[in-house]
Chains A and B, each alone.
Chain A
Amino acid sequence: MKKIIYILLINIFFVNSLSALIEVDITRGNLDPLPIAISPLHVDIKSEKYKDLNVKDLGDKISEIIEKNFRNTGLFNPLKKDAFVQKPDIAHLKPRFEDWRLIKAQALVTGKLLISGEKLKVEFRLWDLAAAQEMTALAFTTTPSNWRRVAHIISDKIYERLTGEEGYFDTRIIYVAESGPKTQRIKKLAIMDQDGFNTKYLTLGNELVLTPRFNPTNQMVTYMSYFRNMPRVYLLDIETGSQEVVGNFPGMTFAPRFSPDGKKIIMSFAKDGNSDIFTMDLETRLVERITEHSSIDTSPSFSPDGKFIAFNSDRSGLQQIYVMRSDGSNVKRITFGKGIYGTPVWSPRGDLIAFTKMHKGKFFIGVMRVDGTGERLLTENYYQEAPSWSPNGRVLVFYRETKSGTKGEGFSAKLWSIDITGYNERRLLTKTDASDPSWSSLLSK
């Protein structure tokens, strides 16, 4: 009897508690970029002079770089500084949240810097204006000439805190800098920060260069150039400038890429009209054949775990993308759409493969899942190819050429980037024409 009463009482309690709370489902929201206020960094009055650096303006310049990085993501809307309501030094101590909310900002970045004893110390805070609390705060010390990098690192930290994924600002892009008329193009290897600054040329331009790729530590680059009139894969140490031809192949080698551990180079080797995929261990110099087929197999790209390789092949008649195990077994065709597919590149997240597609005379850059399903074409143009992933797998950089006349007039090649959602297509600023970009991993990781 007692038991029954207990059960009944529990029942009463349970039924009542269920009916008490009202629930409302929110399934829609605002897809506009997040309004963010990036206050200029306050320059400490104790700051000393450093070479030809304009210390006074440094706070403004750093905040400008952060602002530009954020605007370029398409995910944030940095607000105009004219509307800012508090001085940078006071805001950095404790913002008047209600005032910042008035200008519709949802997050606020404040900071200060000090140059002392040839060291630059920068600290920043990210504030959640709605919750009226600090979200993250960090300080960096470095040489003052590194101030641009500090701005990029701060951008990465804020991006990570606000989106939950790694940033991609403290990175570099290596590409082929092009100049001269279309028929006599001079192509040099060039490297720049992802925002187009600090361009450096790595080769002189007396040989054609193509398809440069970083290794995982960003110290080495592999690319294709000419050795004794033969296209060959090269290895270049960025720090020392030393170069070498990779392997002793009796024919041309091209389309190189590093394995995810950086220990091997995977590439194509062509002889007598047939091209297959090979790897070479950089330590032992052992060469291993991965594919053996009478067709043209090329553009290999490892999955981030190193277990699979995506490549393109014309073994079925038209060029299509295939995936196989890293030992060459279990080859599977993954593209069956209409048109020609090439340049597969595995995303650093491992979930997508980016590619170039040609169909009806148009070129598309697209992404699909690693089994070939869910193909999405992100951008279409007269000629574009060679996608490369940002280190967080969110943005693709590629190059686009314009249509030119019979003598090559009106020709240009530029770098572009696009978000994997297909939004936010932007041109990357380069000093010269540019092609074959490759994005580094995060430098400060």
Chain B
Amino acid sequence: MIRSLIYSLTFHSVMILLTVLSLPFMLREPVDLPPIVSVELIQISDKTMIPYAPKARKIIEDQKKKEEEKRVVSEQAPPSAKAKEKPDRIPLPNKKEEEKKIIKKKQNPEEIKPQIRQSSEFEKKEVVDTNQIAALIDKAKEIEATEKKDSNKITQSNKKNSFATGLTLSEEDALRAQIFGCWSVPLGLPYDQNLLVRVKLQLKKDGTILKSEILDHERMNRPGQKFYKVLAESALRAVRMCQPLKVPPTGYDKWKDLQLNFNPEEMLKG
């Protein structure tokens, strides 16, 4: 009886100890308060509702349109210098003087009667244009807010972070927004492959990078995975271009090791 009581007591005390050690909220550390920032509130609606705003908007829209047009169709620049050359003519063995009428049935759908009047489900508007890229980006944001389908992949980390008491949502958003701007996503990646690149960073207090490492680096040298190497390099370039990273002024111990999961899949698929 006493023996089992001792066992029970030992087991329970171990469990309590374990809980105290492993669950962060049991640690009685002083609350890490962010520094107080004074905010001045200014009423700006009077200033922004200026009468010439519609005109300004029109100018801005025109400008945007012009830029958009420039981006979509850009003519090939004329060659800087044309090499002078004589055409190398190779005579045909069977020269004929008269022009022959040609039957171009196979590749000339022009000749097909124009009575077809169905509506196409593949109209031009379905082809992706630059406006859709903006839509894609917005969509990507929406998707972020929704649940992730694939539980195998390491994805949205908000849940983990709230548990780990790492970065607040706004701190995480600031960091994410900063890296979005630095990351030139390689275009032409395959759509049907796993494109997740995990980068582990060791940071200094000022947000500069002490060490960066691709977690699946052995995949970079696998045959048929050249695109992965390119993607991983682009991720590394992004963090290097971005440094110093926008990290919180306090709580260095929590964010000195940081993992960034780069995944352009949603962007590419739309």
Bound CA span A104–B103, Å = 55
On whether A162 and B116 interact (CB within 8 A), knowing A30-B181, A130-B240, the answer reads no
Q: Which chain A residue lies CB-closest to B76? A: A426
Residues of B close to A428: CB separation below 8 A: 76
**Contact indicator B107/A426 (Cβ below 8 Å):** no
**Of B119, B133, B154, which one neighbours A31 at CB under 8 angstroms?**
B133
**In the assembled complex, A155 has its CB within 8 A of some CB on chain B:** no
Bound CA span A340–B97, Å = 36
**In the assembled complex, A138 has its CB within 8 A of some CB on chain B:** no
Chain A 23-38 interface mask (CB, 8 Å, partner B; 1/0): 1111111111111000
Chain A 381-410 interface mask (CB, 8 Å, partner B; 1/0): 001011000000010000000000000000
Contact count band on A: 35 or more
**Contact indicator B267/A360 (Cβ below 8 Å):** no
Stretch of B33-41, B45-53, B56-64, B84-92 with 4 or more beta carbons under 8 angstroms from chain A: B84-92
Bound CA span A16–B20, Å = 11
Q: How far is the CB of B179 from chain A (nearest CB, A)?
A: 5
Residues of B close to A318: CB separation below 8 A: 112, 116
Q: Which chain B residue lies CB-closest to A57? A: B81
**Of B186, B261, B263, which one neighbours A163 at CB under 8 angstroms?**
B186
Chain B 11-33 interface mask (CB, 8 Å, partner A; 1/0): 10010001001101000000000
Q: Which chain A residue lies CB-closest to B160? A: A23
Residues of A close to B122: CB separation below 8 A: 337, 357, 359, 364, 366, 375-377
A4-59: which have CB < 8 Å to B?
4-5, 8, 11-12, 15-16, 19-35
**In the assembled complex, A262 has its CB within 8 A of some CB on chain B:** no
On whether A164 and B229 interact (CB within 8 A), knowing A24-B258, A243-B92, the answer reads yes
**Contact indicator A22/B107 (Cβ below 8 Å):** no
**Contact indicator B107/A386 (Cβ below 8 Å):** yes
**Contact indicator A378/B96 (Cβ below 8 Å):** no
**Contact indicator A24/B89 (Cβ below 8 Å):** no
Bound CA span A204–B74, Å = 34
**In the assembled complex, A358 has its CB within 8 A of some CB on chain B:** yes
Give the 4 A-B CB pairs with smallest separation, nearest first: A29-B183, A241-B90, A22-B166, A164-B226
B residues adjacent to A (C-beta < 8 A): 11, 14, 18, 21-22, 24, 72-80, 82-83, 85, 87-97, 99-100, 102-110, 112, 114, 116-124, 126-129, 133, 137, 140-141, 143-144, 154-157, 160-161, 163-164, 166-167, 172, 175-176, 179-189, 200, 226-231, 233, 235-238, 240-241, 254-255, 257-267
Extra contacts, 4 of them, besides A22-B255, A201-B88, A296-B105 (Cβ < 8 A), are: A19-B24, A28-B183, A61-B80, A128-B237
